[in-house]
């Protein structure tokens, strides 16, 4: 053999070929041989998986619609009155009971408890908001009706149930937040004839104070909301009421107080005397409380709080102030001294104030008794006539302002609840299950295919090994 031939054949001619060389034809022959087994294995596993999924995860028929809530406060997850919003208030038992009324007419026989178990509410949160760490308060919600059987309701009835729930929730919302109590300032025509002048002024003050409180509550909610019809706001009405009280009513009150105007002098004197009697009783009580507090105060005093003693470090003949540490401990444990002192001073001040009120009432009685001169009666009649006109004007303006406030409040509430609950997506019905049947069957088929191929090659390998074993021996 030449060198050239030796290079062309690096191995001896009698050297056996590799036994581990892969022959693709042999693999295909094995797969073709076991094709029926592989197909049956795939079909069997896929069928078993399908049966398990169908039994364990039955099909659910879902009908859902989307609603949008658009009212002040929902951006902060609150109701219009400031209370915390809860999505379950959309499907309260009362709302479901009213929404279920049409099913009872059709003899469906579905109880409210069963309906409630089928209904659910879920908030719609955008994908970008889910990634944010801060809390997001959604104003869109999915109202979902889920049934396990398709023959319980028709598709039309499922949509009717959801729309009926939304409609009942809208009615309850409008009733709760669209019919707020209004301010009532009802002053009848015979009002001035029933009461004396001081009582009339006091009643008017009370009505105006309550009116202003109502306006403050509306300003807090509505802000500078202005009527498109009357071009007036709650702030404007409040300003007018305050001017009416602080100028007009105060002027009439000062006139009554200065001239001691009254319809029944004896009756007014009796009222003052009754008030004086009540003041005297209250004054005695406060004086008694002050006396008791002072007595206890003396009993709890510490006479030896501070002492003078000679100090070794001081100059000869000198003294230094030494604080008794036991007093500090007792003061920390039982600090009654300050409390009793405050109580005594408070009771004493209140008793002094009552004494001043009593003196004022006595002066008023003396002034009323001295007001019997005939020369002043004609002047008083003219002033009383003018005062009556002023009081009538105050009453009229107060009632006009209350009517304006009520009309403005109705307009504001109507605007607030208008479009507060909207259906942005009509009811749609679909069938679904918690596990995807196609994905699970496909996955089971793929797993069964690889397992069957593995078994086929494993069995062939065992057979070939068993045939080759006697020959090797």
Domain extents in the chain: 3-56+447-465, 60-177, 253-417
At residue 425, what are phi and psi to the nearest 5 degrees? -145, 120
> In this predicted structure, what is the pLDDT of residue 55?
79
Q: Is the pLDDT of residue 336 over 70?
A: no
Higher pLDDT, 48 or 6: 48
Q: Is the pLDDT of residue 334 over 70?
A: no
Distance CA 10, CA 30 (A): 34
> Picking from 91-95, 281-285, 299-303, 359-363, which range would have the lowest pLDDT averaged per residue?
299-303
Distance CA 152, CA 62 (A): 12
- Taking Cα atoms as reference points, which of 213, 205, 228, 206 lies closest to residue 183? 213
Q: Is the pLDDT of residue 126 over 70?
A: yes
Structure confidence at residue 5 as a pLDDT band (50, 70, 90)? very low
Is 98 in contact with 168 (CB distance < 8 Å)? Answer: yes
Structure confidence at residue 50 as a pLDDT band (50, 70, 90)? confident
Q: Is the pLDDT of residue 101 over 90?
A: no
Distance CA 282, CA 241 (A): 35
Q: Is the pLDDT of residue 105 over 90?
A: no
Structure confidence at residue 269 as a pLDDT band (50, 70, 90)? confident
Q: How many residues would you count in the chain?
A: 473
- CATH code linked to domain 60-177: 3.30.300
Is 149 in contact with 406 (CB distance < 8 Å)? Answer: no
Burial of 234: CB neighbours in 10 Å, binned 0-12, 13-18, 19+:
buried
Structure confidence at residue 461 as a pLDDT band (50, 70, 90)? confident
> In this predicted structure, what is the pLDDT of residue 184?
67
**Secondary structure (H, E, C), 146-209:** EECCCCCCCHHHHHHHHHHHHHHHHHHHHHHHCCCCCCCCCCCCCHHHHCCHHHHHHHHHHHHH
Higher pLDDT, 435 or 203: 203
Q: Is the pLDDT of residue 39 over 70?
A: yes
**Average pLDDT across the chain, whole number:** 78
> In this predicted structure, what is the pLDDT of residue 380?
63
Burial of 371: CB neighbours in 10 Å, binned 0-12, 13-18, 19+:
middle
Cα angle at 187 between 183 and 193, to 5 degrees? Answer: 160
For 382-403, write each residue's pLDDT tens digit: 677 777 788 888 888 988 898 8
CA distances for 209 relative to 105, 183, 236, 248, angstroms = 52, 12, 16, 15
Distance CA 242, CA 398 (A): 11
> Picking from 4-18, 243-257, 325-339, which range would have the lowest pLDDT averaged per residue?
4-18
Structure confidence at residue 224 as a pLDDT band (50, 70, 90)? confident
For 306-317, write each residue's pLDDT tens digit: 444 444 444 444
Beta-carbon contacts of 294 under 8 Å, excluding residues fewer than 6 positions away, are 344
Distance CA 66, CA 72 (A): 20
């Amino acid at each position: 053999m030449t060198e050239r031939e030796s290079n062309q054949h690096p191995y001896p001619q009698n050297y056996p070929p590799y036994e581990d060389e892969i022959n693709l034809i042999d693999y295909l022959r094995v797969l073709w041989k076991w094709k029926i087994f592989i197909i049956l294995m795939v079909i069997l596993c896929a069928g078993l998986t399908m049966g398990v999924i169908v039994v364990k995860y039955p099909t659910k028929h879902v009908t859902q619609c989307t609603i949008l809530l658009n009212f002040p406060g929902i951006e902060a997850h609150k109701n219009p009155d400031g209370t915390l919003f809860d999505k379950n208030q959309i499907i309260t038992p009362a709302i479901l009971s009213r929404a279920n009324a049409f099913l009872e007419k059709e003899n469906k026989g579905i109880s409210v408890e069963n309906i409630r178990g089928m209904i659910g509410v879920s908030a719609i949160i955008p994908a970008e908001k889910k990634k944010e760490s801060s809390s997001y308060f959604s104003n869109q919600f999915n109202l979902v009706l889920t049934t396990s059987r398709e023959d319980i309701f028709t598709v039309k009835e499922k949509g009717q149930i959801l729309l009926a729930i939304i409609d009942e929730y809208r009615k309850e919302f409008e009733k709760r937040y669209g019919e707020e109590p209004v301010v009532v300032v009802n002053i009848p025509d015979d009002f001035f004839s029933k009461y004396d002048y001081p009582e009339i002024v006091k009643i008017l003050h009370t009505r105006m104070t309550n009116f202003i409180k109502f306006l403050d509550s509306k300003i807090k909610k509505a802000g500078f909301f202005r009527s498109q019809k009357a071009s007036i706001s709650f702030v404007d009405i409040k300003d007018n009421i305050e001017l009416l009280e602080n100028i007009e009513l105060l002027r009439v009150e000062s006139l009554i107080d200065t001239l001691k105007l009254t319809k029944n002098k004896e009756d007014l004197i009796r009222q003052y005397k009754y008030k004086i009697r009540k003041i005297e009783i209250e004054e005695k009580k406060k004086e008694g409380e002050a006396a008791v507090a002072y007595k206890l105060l003396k009993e709890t005093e510490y006479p030896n709080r501070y002492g003078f003693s000679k100090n070794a470090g001081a100059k000869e003949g000198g003294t230094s102030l030494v604080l008794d540490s036991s007093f500090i401990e007792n003061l920390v444990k039982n600090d009654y001294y300050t409390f009793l002192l405050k109580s005594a001073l408070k009771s004493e001040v209140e008793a002094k104030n009552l004494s001043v009120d009593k003196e004022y009432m006595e002066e008023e009685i003396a002034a009323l008794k001295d007001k019997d001169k005939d020369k002043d009666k004609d002047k008083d009649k003219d002033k009383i006539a003018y005062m009556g006109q002023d009081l009538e004007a105050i009453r009229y303006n107060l009632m006009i302002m209350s009517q304006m406030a009520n009309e403005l409040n109705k307009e504001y509430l109507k605007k607030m609840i208008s479009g507060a609950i909207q259906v942005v997506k009509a009811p749609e019905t679909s069938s679904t299950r918690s596990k995807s049947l196609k994905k699970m069957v496909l996955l089971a088929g793929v797993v069964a295919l690889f397992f069957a191929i593995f078994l086929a090659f494993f069995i062939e390998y065992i057979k070939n090994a068993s045939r080759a074993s006697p020959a090797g021996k």
